[in-house]
Amino acid sequence: MLTPTKDVAEAPQVVAIDAAQAGQRIDNFLLSRLKGVPRSHIYRILRRGQVRVNKGRIRADYRLQAGDSVRIPPIRTAARDGSSARLGAGVPERLAGSVLYEDKWLLVINKPPGMAVHGGSGLSYGVIEALRVLRPRAPFLELAHRLDRETSGCLVLAKRRSVLRMLHATLREGRMEKRYMALLRGCFEGGARRVDAGLGKNVLRSGERVVRVQDDGKPADSTFVPLRHYADATLMEVRLGTGRTHQIRVHAAHIGHPVAGDEKYGDPDFNRHMQRCGLRRLFLHAAGIAFTLPEMGTVRVQAPLDPSLQAVLECVPH
């Protein structure tokens, strides 16, 4: 578990924002600066007004401007050398062996299944916090996008803020190619099928957050391409035109072919059947990603299917 030390700053920090730091949200600025501090605590001090910009209270989505003066209150932070940060057993080894591509601008890892991309909601750490502990001398390291906790595969991180901005622009403009592999319920008939259905976030009476297909939802499109047919399942390649929360899972359920192992949107009977084949998680894997950035050229990375998922495919009846 990633835990803060008992070392507390004696006085508030005051940081002058320069042009290189301008444009980022205050919450992301604090997360990158206060390495080791849980995300939940960052948002708590923002809500309480303990963080001030130009001596005034600000919201978590405030975007910093060159010349801003940021006051950061005394706060417990993890030791810079990472000696006091405790990660779960095996986490350093899993992440150290997960690197798929790296250069001076960015890092692409094969995110392990079961690990959230960031801490919060009861989690002390996620991939980004753990990598910051493992790379204490990295001046900047930030997620370019997200994957669901149970999804494995290609996850891109930026090593420079300028690169992060370019990656975000590439995502917004639909110029990042993202390919997933998913095992869906039933025999998928016909060839490739494009699903263009808007998605909206909802909160149930229980407080659970879900995403649903809605006429007034945000535009979302996914293309499902059958790769292999089984007796009662189909292995799919899914190509995303947009990157909405739970997009593949909701679109798959919408067309009557939910993802295997999906406890939120899936078929309980099908999930139990897949459990007998050894499936212990959501069968969704970010298999490939490709994008082109100015002065960097084209980056194209593939993540091999997790051995546990490959074993499930060998068990599924043909």
257-286 pLDDT, tens digit per residue, is 999 999 999 999 999 999 999 999 999 999
148 is catalytic: yes
207-234 pLDDT, tens digit per residue, is 788 999 999 999 999 999 999 999 999 9
> What class does CATH assign to 13-72?
alpha beta
- Of the CATH numbers 3.30.2350.10, 3.10.105.10, 3.10.180.10, 3.40.50.1220, which one belongs to the domain with range 91-167? 3.30.2350.10
Whether domain 175-315 has CATH 3.30.2350.10? yes
157-202 pLDDT, tens digit per residue, is 999 888 998 999 999 898 999 999 999 999 999 899 999 999 999 9
Are 13-72 and 175-315 the same fold in CATH? no
Catalytic residue among 148, 262, 267, 306: 148
Domain locations along the chain: 13-72, 91-167, 175-315
Q: Higher confidence at residue 203 or residue 55?
A: 55
Tell me the whole-structure pTM to 2 decimals.
Answer: 0.75
Per-residue pLDDT band for 147 (boundaries 50, 70, 90) equals: very high
Q: What is the pLDDT of residue 123?
A: 57
Q: What is the pLDDT of residue 3?
A: 34
- HEC readout, the chain: CCCCCCCECCCCEEEECCCCCCCCEHHHHHHHHCCCCCHHHHHHHHHCCCCEECCEECCCCCECCCCCEEEECCCECCCCCCCCCCCCCCHHHHHHCCEEEECCCEEEEEECCCCCCCCECCECCCHHHHHHHHCCCCCCCEECCCCCCCCEEEEEEECCHHHHHHHHHHHHCCCCEEEEEEEEECCCCCCCEEEECCEEEEECCCCCEEEEECCCCECCEEEEEEEEECCCEEEEEEEECCCCCCHHHHHHHHCCCCECCCCCCCCHHHHHHHHCCCCCCCCEEEEEEEEEECCCEEEEEECCCCHHHHHHHHHCCC
Mean pLDDT of 137-151: 89
